[in-house]
Amino acid sequence: MWRACIRDLIGEGGGFSGEDHIRLGSKVRELSKGMVAQLHLALVMAIDARLLVLDEPTLGLDILYRKQFYDSLLNDYFDGSRTIVVTTHQVEDIQHVLTDLMFINRGRIVLSCTMEEFEWRYAEVTVRPEQVAAARALKPMQERQVLGRGVLLFDLKSNPVDRQQLAALGDVRTPSIADLFVAVMGNQMKDVRGAA
């Protein structure tokens, strides 16, 4: 499977993008940054391991290559008996494929949950200016402004607000992982500053 990916990358099938490939005899130092990253990824994928740990695996790749890499990782490498751990700051690229989520701050786990828990536990409500005070009274974990509207993020496990209460104030949705990360880490920084 991934051995075929390496063959594709070096000339037969066109690499992850279907167009770019590495010519046989090419020197690594002559390759673009993106092609070097692709070569490293293909070599890593050729390893038949039960546990694969990838640290920022798509750093340096454009969005097309990143998407194709993760699609290939799931479709060609993951078989249900393997575990893949990915650390990344580009969470929007992988949110749809995660089974578990963990945030680490200064070596401490500050959030750990399944994606199922993430879906029911966190809610974000976008409210009009006249509803902001009512939403604040429900004690959100974070508030920000977007295009003149208040966006408030709630942890429904630690603050059991009813989703229907939130819906009465505005549009409710599950936040992105990136938005939750900013809220959790922002609160961690406030706690550190408050303790100092």
The tokens for 140 are: 């959100």
pTM above 0.95, yes or no: no
Give dist(CA 163, CA 49) in Å, integer. Answer: 43
Q: Which of 8, 81, 12, 19 is nearest to 41 (CA)?
A: 8
In Å, what is the CA distance from 159 to each residue of 90, 112, 139, 145, 153?
Answer: 28, 17, 8, 21, 11
Do β-strands 142-146 and 149-155 pair in parallel, antiparallel, or remain unpaired?
A: antiparallel
Amino acid at site 20: D
Per-residue model confidence as pLDDT tens digits over 84-123: 888 888 888 888 888 899 999 889 999 999 999 999 999 9
Give dist(CA 112, CA 114) in Å, integer. Answer: 7
Per-residue model confidence as pLDDT tens digits over 115-152: 999 999 999 999 988 999 999 999 999 999 888 889 99
Q: Are 140 and 151 in contact (CB under 8 A)?
A: no
Do β-strands 51-55 and 83-87 pair in parallel, antiparallel, or remain unpaired?
A: parallel
